[in-house]
C-alpha cells in the first residue's frame, strides 16, 4: 500500500503545488500592501521548480515499477510505459515554461493564471497517460481540453488569440462529444469500461449482431476523437489557425504535450484489446493523408508558425506509421519518433520565440539571419535539417526506424509514401536555410541577444539532436521496455 502511495505521489504533489501557486497568485496580485505586483515570472519560476521536483519524485519511484500496479479502484495503471511517457511529458512542460519568461517581459504579459493552467493541464495529462478505464481517460482529456481552450485565448489584447481560443473551443467540443459518444456505445454494447475487461470481451468471445456493430461504431468514434486531438488528416482543419493565433509558448505546448498523452492513450486502449484490421486501415489511411497534406500544404506557407503547424501534421503522419504496423517494433519506433519530435519542436519554437522579439513573422523576414546572428542561424538550420530527416541528425534516426518497422510488417506502400513525402519536405525546410544564409532582406533587422533560459534550452536540445547518432542505445532500450510493458 505504501509503495502504491509513493507511485502516485508525483501526481499528488503537482496537484497540490498547482493549487498553492493559484492561491499565492490570487492573494499577492490583489494585495494593496504589496502594490499589486505582476506575479507571472514569480509563479513561472515556482511552476518550473514544481515540474522539476515532480520529475525527481517520478525518478525516485522508478524502482517500485518492476511490475505493473493498478490503483484507485483499478482506474489507473503504473508500469514502465506510464513512467517513461510521464517523464517525457514533464520534460516537455519544463522546456515550454523555461522559454516563456522573456516572452512575458517582451509582451508585458502579467496573467499568472497562464502558468497555473499549464500546470493543471500537465496534471490532467499525467492522469491520462496512466488511465486504465474509459471514464478516467475521458475526464482527464476534458480537463486538459478546458485548460487549452483558455490558454489559447490568453493574449487578451490580440484578436487572433481570441479567435484561436474560440475556434478551438467550438471544434474541440465536437471532438469531445464524438469521443464521449464512442465510450457510451462501447459501454452500452459490453457493459464494461475497464481496459482489462474490454480486452477480455473483445478478444475472448465472438460478438455478433447489434452488439458487434455497437462495438465497431464505438471504437470508430473513439478513434476519430483521438485523431482530432493529434491533428491527423482529415481532422486537422483547426490546427494551422490555432497554432498561428495562439501565443507562441502556447503553440509550442499544444504541438508537443497533447500528442504524448493521446498517443499513450491510443496505445493503451487499442493495442491491448481492440486492435483489428479495421482500426489498422483507419490509421493507415490517416498516416498517408497526413504525410501527403503536411508536405504539400507546407510548401505554400509564407508564415513561420503556419509552416511549423503543417510540419507538425506531417510528423503526426510519420508517427502514426508505428501504430499502423501493430507490432512491437512499430510501437518502439513510434515512441522513438515522439521523443525526437518533442525535442525538435521545443528547439524550433524556442528559436521562433527568440526571433519574435524583433517581430519576425514571415519566412521572408529571416533573410541574412546568418550575417546578423550566425549562431542562431546555424542552430535553426540544424533543427530544420533534422525535421527534414537528413543524416546523421536525430530526425533521420527517427524516420529510419519508422520506415524500417513499416517494411518489417509488410507495409511497403506506407514506407514508400513516407520516403517520398520526406523528400518533398526537404524543399521547404532547406528553403528556410537558404533564406537565412543566401538571401538579402529588403530591410535589415538587428536581432537582440537571446536570454539565458532559451540559450541553455537550445544548447541542450541542439546537442541531443546533433549527437544522438553517436550513442542511441539508451533510448532504444527504454522504448523497447515501454513497448513490452504494453503487452505484459
Q: In this structure, how many other beta carbons lie within 10 angstroms of the beta carbon of residue 391?
A: 12
In a domain, 374, yes or no: yes
In a domain, 136, yes or no: no
Question: Is the confidence at residue 369, as pLDDT, over 90?
Answer: no
Q: What are phi and psi of 77, to 5 degrees?
A: -130, 135
| Domain extent at residue 480 | 276-487
Question: Is the confidence at residue 1, as pLDDT, over 70?
Answer: no
CB neighbour list of residue 313: distance below 8 Å, 6 or more residues apart: 231, 232, 233, 236, 239, 290, 293, 294, 297
In a domain, 191, yes or no: no
Number of domains within the chain:
1
The region that residue 111 occupies, defined by phi over 0 for left and psi between -120 and 50 for alpha, beta otherwise, is beta
In a domain, 44, yes or no: no
7-44: per-residue pLDDT in tens? Answer: 788 888 999 999 998 888 888 777 766 666 677 778 88
In a domain, 106, yes or no: no
**Mean pLDDT of the 416-421 span:** 92
What is the pLDDT at residue 200? 79
**Mean pLDDT of the 414-433 span:** 90
In a domain, 12, yes or no: no
Inter-CA distances, 132 with 74, 265, 268, Å: 7, 9, 8
Percentage of residues of the chain with pLDDT beyond 90: 24
**Mean pLDDT of the 50-59 span:** 90
**Mean pLDDT of the 346-371 span:** 79
In a domain, 387, yes or no: yes
Confidence tier at 210 by pLDDT (50, 70, 90): low
What is the pLDDT at residue 377? 87
Average pLDDT score, the chain = 84
In a domain, 441, yes or no: yes
Amino acid at each position: 500500500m505504501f509503495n502504491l502511495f509513493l507511485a502516485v505521489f508525483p501526481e499528488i504533489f503537482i496537484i497540490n503545488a498547482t493549487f498553492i501557486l493559484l492561491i499565492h497568485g490570487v492573494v499577492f496580485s490583489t494585495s494593496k500592501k504589496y502594490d499589486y505586483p505582476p506575479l507571472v515570472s514569480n509563479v513561472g519560476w515556482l511552476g518550473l521548480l514544481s515540474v522539476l521536483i515532480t520529475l525527481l519524485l517520478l525518478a525516485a519511484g522508478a524502482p517500485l515499477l518492476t511490475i505493473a500496479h493498478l490503483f484507485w479502484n483499478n482506474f489507473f495503471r503504473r508500469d514502465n510505459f506510464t513512467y517513461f511517457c510521464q517523464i517525457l511529458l514533464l520534460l516537455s512542460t519544463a522546456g515550454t515554461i523555461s522559454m516563456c519568461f522573456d516572452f512575458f517581459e517582451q509582451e508585458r504579459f502579467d496573467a499568472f493564471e497562464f502558468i497555473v493552467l499549464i500546470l493543471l493541464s500537465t496534471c490532467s495529462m499525467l492522469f491520462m497517460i496512466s488511465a486504465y478505464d474509459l471514464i478516467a481517460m475521458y475526464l482527464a482529456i476534458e480537463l486538459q481540453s478546458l485548460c487549452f481552450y483558455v490558454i489559447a485565448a490568453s493574449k487578451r489584447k490580440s484578436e487572433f488569440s481570441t479567435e484561436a481560443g474560440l475556434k478551438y473551443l467550438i471544434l474541440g467540443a465536437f471532438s469531445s462529444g464524438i469521443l464521449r459518444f464512442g465510450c457510451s456505445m462501447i459501454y452500452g454494447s459490453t457493459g464494461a469500461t475497464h481496459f482489462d475487461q474490454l480486452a477480455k470481451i473483445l478478444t475472448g468471445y465472438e460478438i455478433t449482431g447489434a452488439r458487434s456493430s455497437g462495438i465497431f461504431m464505438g471504437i470508430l468514434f473513439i478513434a476519430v476523437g483521438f485523431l482530432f486531438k493529434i491533428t491527423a488528416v482529415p481532422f486537422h482543419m483547426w490546427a494551422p489557425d490555432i497554432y498561428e493565433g495562439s501565443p507562441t509558448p502556447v503553440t509550442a505546448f499544444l504541438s508537443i504535450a497533447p500528442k504524448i498523452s493521446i498517443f499513450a492513450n491510443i496505445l493503451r486502449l487499442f493495442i491491448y484489446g481492440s486492435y483489428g484490421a479495421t482500426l489498422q486501415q483507419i490509421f493507415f489511411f490517416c498516416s498517408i493523408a497526413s504525410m501527403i497534406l503536411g508536405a504539400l500544404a507546407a510548401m505554400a506557407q509564407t508564415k513561420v508558425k503556419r509552416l511549423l503547424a503543417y510540419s507538425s501534421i506531417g510528423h503526426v503522419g510519420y508517427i502514426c506509421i508505428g501504430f499502423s504496423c501493430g507490432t512491437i517494433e512499430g510501437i518502439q519506433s513510434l515512441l522513438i519518433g515522439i521523443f525526437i519530435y518533442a525535442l525538435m519542436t521545443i528547439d524550433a519554437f524556442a528559436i521562433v520565440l527568440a526571433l519574435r522579439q524583433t517581430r519576425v513573422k514571415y519566412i521572408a523576414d529571416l533573410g541574412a539571419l546568418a550575417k546578423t546572428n550566425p549562431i542562431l542561424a546555424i542552430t535553426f538550420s540544424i533543427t530544420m535539417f533534422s525535421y527534414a530527416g537528413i543524416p546523421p541528425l536525430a530526425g533521420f534516426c527517427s524516420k529510419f526506424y519508422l520506415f524500417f518497422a513499416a517494411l518489417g510488417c509488410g507495409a511497403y506502400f506506407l514506407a514508400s509514401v513516407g520516403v517520398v513525402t520526406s523528400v518533398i519536405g526537404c524543399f521547404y525546410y532547406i528553403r528556410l536555410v537558404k533564406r537565412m544564409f543566401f538571401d538579402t532582406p529588403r530591410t535589415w533587422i538587428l536581432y537582440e541577444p537571446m536570454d539565458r533560459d532559451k540559450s541553455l534550452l537550445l544548447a541542450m536540445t541542439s546537442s541531443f539532436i546533433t549527437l544522438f547518432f553517436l550513442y542511441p542505445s539508451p533510448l532504444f532500450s527504454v522504448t523497447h521496455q515501454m513497448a513490452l510493458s504494453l503487452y505484459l
